[in-house]
Amino acid sequence: MPQNADTPADRLREWRRRRGFTQEQLAEQAGLSLAVVKKLERGGAGRLETYHALARALRVRTSQLFDAQPPHTTRHDDSGNLALMGFRRALVPPVTAGGRRLDTVEPDLDLAQMARTATSLREAYQADGYATVAELLPHLVTGAQLAVDHYSGRPEHTEALRLRSDVLQQAAGYLTQIRVYDLAHLALRDARRDALAAGDTLRAGSAVSLQAWTLIREGRLDEAERLSVASAEEIEPRISSATKDALGVWGKLWLKASAAASRNNRPGEAREMLRLARTAGAAVGPSGGAKRYRCGAFSSSSVLIQTAENYAVTDQPRRVLGMSERMRQAQAPTSNTGHRHMLDVAWAHLQLRNPGEAENVLAGLHSGARDWLRHQRMARDTFHGILRGSRQRVSKRQRELAKFFDV
């Protein structure tokens, strides 16, 4: 690694010089504008995908271009904190010096009813009902917290621990989706603890899979890969006799490892991890496994989706569309996973100079998954590309999308 490189700007500049590139040459090799390279070398902020393109051009891991940075000094108002007050109260409740919680609500101690509520909220989340999830999930978290305390030392305690692990993972998935990573990590730490206390290794593996996704979203690619690989090795099942749930959680971990490696400019490792996930996918078949865990169902189609995503990360749009054709014959994935795949399809169409097809995909997502779509930076960037490449007057649909994406 270059010496005396303390910031992403320093690292980028040092690696560029080490490779003998001018700023213009690096921009051309990475498929970026010269203005972007100049901005990043001056200390400007860049997206993970931009750093990935630069890393490929420089032949280094993406993580070598950035690391922990000092906290920002930009002042923000408290609107975000107020919107998340329910989650903060549920996940970080006030506790006395003696360990007594100060919750004033009376808990619903019917574990079966809470499990049904969790299932309903999960379905709402997959159906783009983010408002319902944001309103009700914090109350469910609090109820699960109090239930664990109430049943301590009683036969129901293990069931309560499993329920709380599931609910915390559910909260973490939502919080990661809306990019509130600190609370997501807190929820996942406790979810893994509860699963292990209940003697449920697969449920703990589900929490780790979600944590790897959160790390990837933060750009902590080395950690996400190492965490996923180590956990997959810890729970590695015997293929011939393993349950579909065990194979599903194991396969999910290899998918997360592959996603991290692909984004970290490690294509060979990403392919090997996909091969292992494919082994799990073949064993569980199209019906899938791990459906009862909050990391999400895993099936042979999950591997196809991750393969397409890796192709998008490595700028292979034709292969993305080829995988999409294969997806038509596979079992439909969960809603959010399918939506994420369609963003790859929209990007591929844009790269192949089919902006109309890309716009059709975004319009479809806007119609059917609006709350999910508003949190996807890739969607906003793709729409920017559509507008930049348009030679016609802005249409009514484009104006509607522009207002939605705030561009």
Cβ(86)–Cβ(138) below 8 Å: yes
pLDDT of the residue at 99:
76
Q: How far apart are CA 81 and CA 296, in angstroms?
A: 28
Cβ(277)–Cβ(305) below 8 Å: no
pLDDT of the residue at 239:
87
Beta bridge partner(s), residue 298: 289
Q: How far apart are CA 80 and CA 57, in angstroms?
A: 37
CB-based burial of residue 67 (10 Å sphere; 0-12 exposed, 13-18 middle, 19+ buried)? middle
Write out the chain's pLDDT in tens, 407 residues: 444 456 788 888 888 888 888 989 898 988 888 888 888 888 877 777 888 888 888 888 888 886 544 333 333 344 455 568 889 988 988 888 887 777 655 656 889 999 999 999 998 998 888 888 998 999 999 999 989 989 999 999 999 999 999 999 999 999 999 999 999 999 999 999 999 999 999 999 999 999 999 999 999 999 999 999 999 999 999 988 899 999 999 999 999 999 999 999 999 999 999 999 999 999 998 888 988 899 888 998 899 999 999 999 988 999 999 998 888 765 555 577 889 999 999 999 999 999 999 999 999 999 989 989 988 989 998 998 898 877 778 889 999 999 998 87
pLDDT of the residue at 69:
43
Residue 232 Cα to chain centre, angstroms: 18
